[in-house]
Structure 1
């Protein structure tokens, strides 16, 4: 695997980890861990997609990262 593959793999892994942990009740979707896993994961997946020049996932992961960043700002306001 190339460096780009690893960046994308680790990013997607973080997004899936957030989903699994939330689904089994270990974290809440309003919590900081969930938000950060999604933000960092989506950013890494977006970077990998940019390096691969694959527009569908650039758009998907870019929007996912922006929504997660918005959630992080809202989290900071409520704490």
Structure 2
């Protein structure tokens, strides 16, 4: 079995999402920029992989994952601007 570049990028994306989940679970007050930024990066990497090796349900899932990460980053930015 050979591993191409798209699969390797997909594994990086998977590691980002798993890492973000582990970080959220380990920290009592996770940094939202780290959490959502890592999730967004993971979704982006997995999307690149899925555009090469198309799996429509997973591709749609990554779209929602990215949208939720962007929403979380937006909430963090609004909260930050209110506290300044």
Asked if these proteins are the same fold (TM beyond 0.5), I'd say yes
TM-score (norm 1): 0.88
Greater radius of gyration (CA) = 2
How far does the alpha carbon of each residue in 1:35-77 deviate from its partner, in whole angstroms, 9 at most, with x for none? Answer: 1000110111122112111101100111101110111112111
- RMSD of aligned residue pairs (Cα, Å): 1.5
Between the two proteins, the alignment pairs up a number of residues equal to 78
1:21-60 correspondence to structure 2 within 5 Å: 21-25=23-27, 28=30, 31-60=32-61
Q: CA separation of 1:69/1:61 partners in 2, compared to 1, >3 Å: closer, same or farther?
A: same
User: Shift of residue 26 of structure 1?
Assistant: 6.8
Q: Which runs of 5+ in 2 are unaligned?
A: none
- Runs of 4+ residues deviating >2 angstroms: none
Q: Which runs of 5+ in 1 are unaligned?
A: none
